[in-house]
Structure 1
Amino acid sequence: MPPKEGLQDISPGEGTHGLPSPPPPRVPATAAAQRRSPHRGDRRRLRKTGQAPPAPRGSFPPSPPAAEPGPDPSRAPQRDRATARRGRPARQTSAVGRLPAGPAAGGGEAPPTPQSRAPGGRAPAARRRAAAPDGAAGTPLALRLREVLSRLSLGRQDVSDASGLVNQVVSHLIQAIRSQDGSFSSIERLGAGSYYEHVKISEPNEFDIMLVMPVARLQLDECDDTGAYYYLTFKRNPKEKYLLKFLDEDKKLSAFKMLQALREIIKREVKNIKSKKKAGSPAITLLIKNPPAEISVDIILTLEVQQSWPPSTQDGLKIEQWLGRKVRGEFRNKSLYLVAKQNKNEKVLKGNTWRLSFSHIEKAMMNNHGRSKTCCESDGPKCCRKSCLKLLKYLVEQLKMEYPKELEKFCSYHVKTAFFHSCVMWPNDTDWHVGDLDHCFQKYLGYFLHCLQKSQLPHFFIPKYNLLSLEDKASSDFLLRQINDELNNGFPIFQKSY
């Protein structure tokens, strides 16, 4: 795809575990180079090594480049202070260059970050944070983003009312399902998705509820080259004899048959609640009246299998530098989840395919997202990871409302996957300081634009599974153009209401 306005030209290639491999960032000048007398040769070398490049046309409103890490440039060297006392002007230790992007997942380099037209150097990070420890002040972009975030916050009473209504309906439903003929007597409830990950925006009107069924060991056979979809068969006669009636003529466990049986039970139990089936969705959707609107509850049939994750996941979940090797091992020792999901690439659509699900792991990562174990706890340091995710979710959501047909292929999972990759590329909590919201959002958005440009967004757990299929390249191109338009015009869509 040709480079778009407002985005740097990026050479092709792949980084570790399938991440797009962007060009190496410019190396910032060292503190020593900044303190040298500004002779002509030094100035030339400084321009070559550390001067920030001119901003691309699609840049944000003024947001100066960040100061480089290292000794606090706000403190003059001892020699300069002495010189100043003798009546001579002290040397200025200006911050040169931009914030290093940091290593990408698996050792690659981070993608380019959209830059701002900056009339001058950015204040040192320590000084900025001291001036605005709560992140209330900052650049015009930061103020605009925080204003948007304030509108996206969920009202406490609204959340309480909606969740109470959902809990009442789901509890009754689960009790009724368990009391049937035994087919689903072992199900357990697990909340998943944005509401339970605390990244839901605007309204508490969508809930994802997984009905988890423990099943004995299964044989998983890949049904395509994505590594995400599988046929399931029993290696021996299962202890759960009632599952035998859900086998198809090839002795495969039929997702279609199980979903159909579950849907019949739900329809009998919730006669006064509308239910619908979304095309291609693994969920049974309930619509609960909650004047003046409705609450959508997705009921997702999920199999829990106590066995090793399949080989397609071996190189995924590369969180060692972010959450740690120990945490990765704990996650990979958790049960394998599979949801009833039709694979549209099958030659003959029989409805007997299942897709790997990592909702339980994603929820755990979202709710314990810091490298330090106290990140965003009540008495711990705050970061802006979730704020950045909410902003990009909202941007894509608004664009989808404006262009529903052109962007129907996109969903919040694309945004969340890009978020996890960004957390790996910038693993430190200081990379997401709450006072640096504008800069952090630009980094994250830059990676997402990079993925759109290359039509390559690897599944976070299954690296060979590209969520931006080349078959849908036209959609990626369209979204890329729309986001660049927003960049060039200061995000006018944030001011619209639908």
Structure 2
Amino acid sequence: MDGEDSGSPRLPPVRQRQEVQQQSSSVVEQPVSVPSDLADWIKLNARDLKISQRDRRWAAEMVNGFREHLLKFLKKESLFQSVEFLNTGSYFEKVKIYSPDEFDMMLKFPVLTTTELDGGLFHRIDLVHAPQGPIRDYLLENQLTLSSTKLLTEMFQLVRKFLKTYRGSPLHLHICHWEVNRKTPNSPADLRPEERTTALFIYLFIHVSEESELATRDPYRSRCGLGKKSRREIRNQPCYFVPKRLKGSPTPISRIKLKIITSHGNKKTCCEGHGTKCCRKLCLMLLKSPIEGLKQRFPKELDELCSYHGQTVFLHALACSSFLYLVDALQDHARRGDLPHFFVPECNLFSPTIFHRRALAFLVRALDEQKREGLPLLKPPALVSLLKPSTAAAHIILEKPTEKSSLPTASCLKLTLLFFLVVLFAFCCFWD
């Protein structure tokens, strides 16, 4: 295994799977008396969460053009001839809020055998026989185990090579250029205040066939609050592996999660009921707003917090349809230091090795303050860049358009393509 002897701490199991299913949260949904002014405030801000069609169309056009040209470029390389793109993330789940400032896409890469580590959170990826093709350059010394570092390094170098020739679509040829960001990982100092930023995260995924035991064993797939047909489709989904550092924020990418979230609120797939339209997706969007606001207000104290923690709380609480319940559930999980990964329940996302206890205590106090003050962070945040590339990033810088331009905004827009280089060499399992 790549980095198998690095001596990194193992993630402690939360509890046995059966106990997790029975006690995923100690908060029980009760009828809540909501003051009329708070209810009006929530409804008012709920209307402003969705991205406008004009902004969505313009950003998607830029991202799709980049994706198509990059895929053609990669297919010329022998190692990546069979890759394909899969869309994932909050934008494609239709729960992205305020502006289209982030896209997640997956590069699918085939693999043969896996070995489970850390209770299913990490896996070692092996080939059955020693290969003769170009993949040999990306194996460890045993000539069977894939090296995540070598694969990602090669991928990063290929994208840098691609950026030297790519100039964008003809419609945007005169308003954009590309540059490589050499700033420190946590510094957005190269962005001007009037600029908006859109990030396109591209992850290299390892595909596991649908026949694999890993693809169908998780009972959580049937506990998603959807109709029978949607649950059956979810159970038949394959799973993927992504190169990931052992310690740090969870990677918020999951094809199963995308299927669950996009199905809610759809009258053909959601709950199979005939009553009031499901509002769970809107509740999740509302929960993302104070999480993003808290991270912007307290970047140092809540550096480990991310939207995936809110999404995990949402997945555990699919039986409820109350935004305030989700806020209480997030606070309860933080208070107990116990948030089981929805798809790998042996992993605790609030474990001390992942989320510092002081940060959890700070999060509990911050949520208390928000509830006392009437959730002021539901208000859309100011337009500033919050990108924190892990190692390096490649930017598209769009110059300020002329007055006759048909672009939806006069502000400059940066599309940022991030590629992560792992520190610990393991493959992190994320269900499809």
Whether these two folds match at TM > 0.5 is yes
Structure 1 match to 2:43 = 146
Structure 2 match to 1:331 = 234
User: Does 2:209 align with 1:306?
Assistant: yes
User: Does 2:349 align with 1:467?
Assistant: yes
| Structure 1: stretches of 5+ with no match in the other structure | 1-12, 22-104, 119-138, 282-286, 346-354, 427-431, 433-439
Task: Decide whether the 8 Å contact of 1:319 with 1:328 is kept in 2.
Answer: yes
Structure 2 match to 1:244 = 136
The alignment's C-alpha RMSD in Å is: 3.6
Task: Decide whether the 8 Å contact of 1:459 with 1:467 is kept in 2.
Answer: yes
Cα distance, 1:312–1:161 mapped onto 2, change above 3 Å: closer
User: Does 2:160 align with 1:158?
Assistant: no
Residue identity matched to 2:20: G
Cα drift, residue 448 of structure 1:
1.5
2:151 match: secondary structure: helix
Structure 1 match to 2:161 = 268
Q: Distance in 2 between matches of 1:293 and 1:394?
A: 18
Of the three residues 286, 290, 295, the one matched with 2:198 is 295
Residue identity matched to 2:84: E
User: Does 2:337 align with 1:455?
Assistant: yes
Structure 2 match to 1:209 = 105
Identity %: 31
Task: Decide whether the 8 Å contact of 1:219 with 1:235 is kept in 2.
Answer: no
Q: Distance in 1 between matches of 2:288 and 2:316?
A: 15
Q: What are the Cα deviations for residues 51-97 of structure 1, in whole angstroms up to 9, with x where unaligned?
A: xxxxxxxxxxxxxxxxxxxxxxxxxxxxxxxxxxxxxxxxxxxxxxx
2:65 match: secondary structure: helix
Structure 2 match to 1:18 = 20
1:273 match: secondary structure: strand
Q: Distance in 2 between matches of 1:170 and 1:405?
A: 34
User: Does 2:89 align with 1:193?
Assistant: yes
Cα distance, 1:279–1:18 mapped onto 2, change above 3 Å: farther
Cα distance, 1:447–1:306 mapped onto 2, change above 3 Å: same
Structure 2 match to 1:493 = 377
Cα drift, residue 466 of structure 1:
0.7
Task: Decide whether the 8 Å contact of 1:301 with 1:340 is kept in 2.
Answer: yes
Q: Distance in 2 between matches of 1:475 and 1:313?
A: 35
Task: Decide whether the 8 Å contact of 2:79 with 2:135 is kept in 1.
Answer: yes
Residue identity matched to 1:199: V
Cα drift, residue 364 of structure 1:
0.9
Alignment TM-score, normalising by the size of structure 2:
0.71
Cα drift, residue 372 of structure 1:
6.2
Q: Distance in 1 between matches of 2:302 and 2:70?
A: 34
Q: Distance in 1 between matches of 2:34 and 2:134?
A: 65
Residue identity matched to 1:459: H
Which structure has more RCO (C-alpha within 8 Å, separation ≥ 6)? 2
Q: What are the Cα deviations for residues 231-286 of structure 1, in whole angstroms up to 9, with x where unaligned?
A: 11112345x833222101244201110111111111011135345699999xxxxx
Q: What are the Cα deviations for residues 453-492 of structure 1, in whole angstroms up to 9, with x where unaligned?
A: 1111111111111111134222111111001011111123
User: Does 2:220 align with 1:317?
Assistant: yes
| Structure 2: stretches of 5+ with no match in the other structure | 1-14, 165-176, 383-432
Q: Aligned pair count? A: 347
Residue identity matched to 2:158: I
Structure 2 match to 1:230 = 123
Cα distance, 1:207–1:278 mapped onto 2, change above 3 Å: farther
Q: Distance in 1 between matches of 2:67 and 2:83?
A: 12
User: Does 2:280 align with 1:385?
Assistant: yes
Q: Distance in 2 between matches of 1:402 and 1:475?
A: 14
Structure 2 match to 1:81 = none
Residue identity matched to 2:145: K
Q: What are the Cα deviations for residues 183-235 of structure 1, in whole angstroms up to 9, with x where unaligned?
A: 101111111100000000111111111111233x213231x34x211111112
Residue identity matched to 1:243: I
Structure 2 match to 1:63 = none
Q: Distance in 2 between matches of 1:455 and 1:301?
A: 31
Q: Distance in 1 between matches of 2:277 and 2:332?
A: 27
2:153 match: secondary structure: helix
Residue identity matched to 1:234: L
Q: Distance in 2 between matches of 1:255 and 1:160?
A: 35
Q: Distance in 2 between matches of 1:154 and 1:358?
A: 20
Cα drift, residue 450 of structure 1:
1.4
Alignment TM-score, normalising by the size of structure 1:
0.62
Cα distance, 1:213–1:414 mapped onto 2, change above 3 Å: same
Residue identity matched to 2:208: V
1:323 match: secondary structure: coil
User: Does 2:299 align with 1:396?
Assistant: no
Q: Distance in 2 between matches of 1:441 and 1:200?
A: 16
Q: Distance in 1 between matches of 2:113 and 2:63?
A: 33
Residue identity matched to 1:183: L
Q: Distance in 1 between matches of 2:62 and 2:191?
A: 8
Of the three residues 482, 488, 494, the one matched with 2:366 is 482
Task: Decide whether the 8 Å contact of 1:369 with 1:375 is kept in 2.
Answer: yes
Residue identity matched to 1:401: Q
Task: Decide whether the 8 Å contact of 2:55 with 2:100 is kept in 1.
Answer: yes
Q: Distance in 2 between matches of 1:411 and 1:356?
A: 9
- Which structure has greater strand proportion? 2
Cα drift, residue 399 of structure 1:
0.5
Q: What are the Cα deviations for residues 293-327 of structure 1, in whole angstroms up to 9, with x where unaligned?
A: 23211111111121555669845425347225664
Task: Decide whether the 8 Å contact of 2:88 with 2:253 is kept in 1.
Answer: no
Residue identity matched to 1:252: T
Residue identity matched to 2:241: L
Cα drift, residue 332 of structure 1:
3.4
Deviates more, 1:462-471 or 1:476-485: 462-471
Residue identity matched to 2:225: W
Residue identity matched to 1:273: W
Cα drift, residue 420 of structure 1:
0.8
Structure 2 match to 1:411 = 306
Task: Decide whether the 8 Å contact of 1:457 with 1:467 is kept in 2.
Answer: yes
Residue identity matched to 1:480: V
